[in-house]
A and B are shown apart, each in its own frame.
Chain A
């Protein structure tokens, strides 16, 4: 029997979570978009307020349930609700954000429960638009946090890139499951 995995897509507002799930999903995405009225936080028109839901079947038959969570801290209760069910985390970071390194600390801290029993990968988006060394700084910071979190430069709208990232995550999840079984 093929197994099913719940994977969360988290990260700050505008990092590309909804775009990534839209690119990956083989079913019509369930979305909960509302008009963004907090224009000081982001200029984007809409924002996810509950979750995005999509689904993808990998080549080996694994069904992956993809949940995107809102980026704003006021929706932290959604993060808590979903991370108990998830086995993996895709953390998307926006290289053009005010301080992507601070975002690394913030989100790894909020998803530490998931990191304890699951695995994570990081995708840094919009690196082509960032004039600073955002990607290198994120990598350095992640090395300080956890030695087994791979980091990718990605375009969240690009299905092939997101499949690579997701496949890496599933491999890590399976390794983690083997580890936990052995203990």
Chain B
């Protein structure tokens, strides 16, 4: 099971970093990927030069937490993902399944990508990281 200590381990962070690198490299239009703890601290990130990991991380945890508050309010159980659809790009945020410490993967994409494609790729990598975590 994942613990707060595990998210700070170098081995775990390197594993996540490699997964995010592949996600950005292999998915057309995906520009940034950032894995953060539920309280907004960066675990791993592959970002364009002008994007701040600490700001994106904090905003991701806040927006995802608001999504969770709404799904809870409407009796929809946990919030699995949040989509922010901008005029010139989109952001998808996916909660990693089966981890004791909540982790959220944020992926941004340009108009070259479809939101569905970015969401699918983000979910695949979120599942992969979760499986690796469960195995360690």
Interface readout for B45-74 with A: 1 if CB under 8 Å, 0 if not? 000000000110111011101101100010
Stretch from B17-25, B35-43, B86-94 that touches the partner: B35-43
Q: CA–CA, A74 to B62, complex, Å?
A: 11
Q: Find out whether the CB atom of B101 lies under 8 angstroms from the CB atom of A37.
A: yes
Give chain A's interface secondary structure class. loop
Q: CA–CA, A75 to B59, complex, Å?
A: 7
Interface size of B in residues (CB-CB distance below 8 Å): 23
CB under 8 Å from chain A, chain B span 1-38: 4, 7-8, 37-38
Does chain A have a CB within 8 A of B130? no
Q: Find out whether the CB atom of B101 lies under 8 angstroms from the CB atom of A49.
A: no
Which residues on A sit within 8 Å (CB–CB) of B65? Answer: 32-34, 49-50
Does chain A have a CB within 8 A of B102? yes
Which residues on B sit within 8 Å (CB–CB) of A37? Answer: 4, 7-8, 37-39, 41, 101
Does chain B have a CB within 8 A of A47? yes
Does chain B have a CB within 8 A of A25? no
Number of residue pairs A-B, CB distance < 8 angstroms: 67
State whether A74 and B4 are in contact (beta carbons under 8 Å apart), knowing that A34-B65, A35-B38, A50-B62 are contacts in the complex: no
Shortest distance from the beta carbon of A77 to any chain B beta carbon, whole Å: 6
Q: CA–CA, A10 to B100, complex, Å?
A: 29
Q: CA–CA, A33 to B65, complex, Å?
A: 7
B104: nearest residue on chain A (CB-CB)?
Answer: A34
Shortest distance from the beta carbon of A80 to any chain B beta carbon, whole Å: 12
CB under 8 Å from chain B, chain A span 1-43: 30-39
Q: Find out whether the CB atom of B69 lies under 8 angstroms from the CB atom of A49.
A: no
Give the one of B54, B63, B69 with max A CB within 10 A: B69
Q: Find out whether the CB atom of B66 lies under 8 angstroms from the CB atom of A47.
A: no
State whether A32 and B54 are in contact (beta carbons under 8 Å apart), knowing that A37-B37, A38-B39, A77-B59 are contacts in the complex: no
Interface residues of chain A, those whose CB is within 8 Å of chain B, are 30-39, 47, 49-51, 70, 72, 74-75, 77-78
Q: Which 6 A-B pairs have the closest CB atoms?
A: A34-B38, A32-B65, A50-B62, A37-B4, A74-B58, A34-B39
With A49-B40, A78-B62 already in contact, 4 other A-B pairs whose C-beta atoms are closer than 8 Å:
A32-B69, A37-B38, A74-B55, A77-B59
